[in-house]
Structure 1
């Protein structure tokens, strides 16, 4: 399945049906009077967050969503049929933005969240509605209200509990593959990861979701490399894991590059709880580990964890540190004992 996190859609609700002007003309009804029915209501356009989706790829192949108009009223007091609603099924975590891409109309963060994007027009009144004691044969009816037409943007921000940050080839995908059943692409060249990946990891009887995004480089906020457009996928995370390549000759510079990009992105992303880990320590001896760790601690001004996604050294400790930063309501706790199977 291809990944798409930004889509433009054109929507239009249905117009209401017009009211009917009609009179009873049965042979044996001396004073028939009006019997025109009201018009039907136009269909609305709504968006619903559903389970099982993690991309907006469906909206690449269909961008126009036009609801049906309501049918006009008919004689014999018959009301026109309402137009059918149109429902846009989106993944949980989808933001709906106005045409300016800045005004947030709705943020569907949980499965089942729903919002009405364009309301259908009401149907017009038929002449039966205007009958009074002084006007017993009205010859007037209302037209239906027009529909609403809008251009909207859908932006997906993945729902994850922890997010991975780092330069290209810092070992983010290797860490995700080593700790979960996710199988992201892994290779020895930059920008192997071209779109975010999700993986469910478990530690100490609890599970949580980790998001791996494409690596950042200096100037990503200006569009260099893949840019910073994927940083939105870690905005909802409780904690960030910053991986630094321990085999790099510029460890301190690599660390500051990512921090500068987070600050340039804004949105309080740089203020989130962050765990710094020195990766690829399986390729370093004891002296090199000590030297690299000291350099990174000096650059970050805080504690640094040691790990290797290949040999899995220190991985459990890193997962426990991430778990400690995630609130209990976001963790999926495993049962201590498996339930006994049902027996007749």
Structure 2
């Protein structure tokens, strides 16, 4: 299955039915009066979150969705049938943006959640509504109004609690394989991960959280190098970032230099996302002699000037991973409790999400401006998904 996380569609609501011009005609009732019924409202277009979907691939092949028109009114005060609403299934985590106004219409963040994206047209009124003491035989009706038509941009941002950040081949995919049932591709060369992967980390019967692994970044990602920053948006819904650093890279790259480059690219992509809590996860310690490990860790932490939590792991053997996920779970539970009890903390979280939404709109506006330039033939950030026909892993248990 292809992993498609951006798509554009057109939605059109139904037109309202027109009111009817009719007069009651029955034997022995010569002056029956007006009896034209109203038209039916046009159907609206809704998006609904579907837990079974994890890609926007369907919208590559069907891009137009139209609700049913309302039927016109009839005589004998009979109203026209209302147009059927249409419900379009989208993955949970989809952000909906109006292409023309760049307004964020809403987010689908829960299964079954519905979002109206196009309002059906209003019904027209029959002539029965316009009779009065001075106008016994009105010939006035109103037409139904047109339904809304919108060009929408859908952006899928995976719903995860923890996001993995790091250079290619830092061991992010190995880590998510080690702590969950997800099975992303793992190999001894960079860029083995081409699409985001989700894994559910289970710690008990009712204790779990979702971890997201995105393709690795390299220096210059904000300018389109490597896979660019295309997939970083999937981390904007996370609450905690694991900055995975390879302490023994095969190409002799300085781990500190690599970590600083990732932090810079993160800041360029989203200053708000860069403010999220970020834990330093030093991976592949099994490749360093046991007696040298503490010295290597101390040197990296000191040169980075790191003041946050530091975890020492070997993802391939599982050493240290249990302590890492247990600490993450405790932190997530504490944060949710804090936001439930402290309005200031809840408001701070809402503010961060609003700022990230504003940054997403700014990126969309910049992308549209770039496409309109005559000297730009194509947008590197919106490459053809057919070039990446690979599977997405979303293992729940």
Question: Shared fold by TM > 0.5?
Answer: yes
Report the alpha carbon displacement of residue 142 of structure 1 after superposing the two structures with TM: 0.8
Please give the residue correspondences for 1:85-104 in structure 2 after superposition, counting only pairs within 5 Å.
85-99=85-99, 102-104=102-104
Q: Which has the larger radius of gyration?
A: 1
* Separation in structure 1 between the aligned mates of residue 189 and residue 147 of structure 2, nearest angstrom: 52
The CA RMSD over aligned residues, in Å, is 1.9
Listed one character per residue, the Cα deviations across residues 278-311 of structure 1 (whole Å, up to 9, x for unaligned) are 1112222124423431332123323532111111
Q: Secondary structure at the match of 2:7?
A: strand
**1:107-118 alignment runs, 5 A limit:** 107-118=107-118
Paired residues of 1:163 and 1:241 also in contact (CA < 8 A): yes
Q: Please report how far the alpha carbon of residue 228 of structure 1 lies from its aligned counterpart in structure 2 after TM superposition.
A: 0.9
The two structures have a TM-score, normalised by structure 2, of 0.79
- Whole-Å Cα distance in 2 between the matches of residues 247 and 76 of structure 1? 84
**Which residue does the alignment assign to 1:238?**
239
Q: What CA deviation, in whole Å up to 9, does each residue of 1:124-173 have, x standing for no partner?
A: 11111111222111112111111111101111111111110111111111
User: How has the CA–CA distance of structure 1 residues 204 and 139 changed in structure 2, closer, same or farther, with 3 Å as cutoff?
Assistant: closer
Task: Confirm whether residue 211 of structure 1 aligns to residue 212 of structure 2.
Answer: yes
Question: CA distance change for structure 1 residues 130 and 100 in 2, over 3 Å: closer, same or farther?
Answer: closer
User: In the alignment, what sits opposite 1:262?
Assistant: 266
**In 2: Cα distance, 1:119 partner to 1:136 partner:** 35
Q: Secondary structure at the match of 2:138?
A: coil
Alignment of 1:180-195 (within 5 A): 180-195=180-195
Counterpart secondary structure, 2:200: strand
User: What TM-score do you get using the length of structure 1 for normalisation?
Assistant: 0.91
**Residue 176 of structure 1: aligned partner:** 176
Partner of 2:276: 272
Counterpart CA distance in 2 for 1:132 and 1:100 is 44
Check conservation: 1:8, 1:153, Cα contact below 8 A.
yes
1:49-82 alpha-carbon deviations (Å, 9 max, x no partner): 2322222222122110111111111112111111
Which residue of structure 1 lines up, in the alignment, with residue 131 of structure 2? 131
Sort the Cα spacing of 1:267 and 1:84 in 2 relative to 1 into closer, same or farther, 3 A. farther
Structure 1 residue 328: deviation in Å?
A: 4.8
Q: Secondary structure of the residue that 1:326 maps to in structure 2?
A: helix
Asked if structure 2 preserves the Cα contact closer than 8 Å seen for 1:9 and 1:153, the reply is yes
Structure 1: which 5+ residue stretches go unaligned? 332-344
Preserved contact between residue 165 and residue 213 of structure 2 (Cα < 8 Å): yes
Alignment of 1:13-92 (within 5 A): 13-92=13-92
Partner of 1:342: none
1:256/1:299 contact within 8 Å kept: no
Is residue 319 of structure 1 aligned with residue 325 of structure 2? yes
Provide the rounded CA distance (Å) in 1 between the counterparts of 2:335 and 2:43: 38
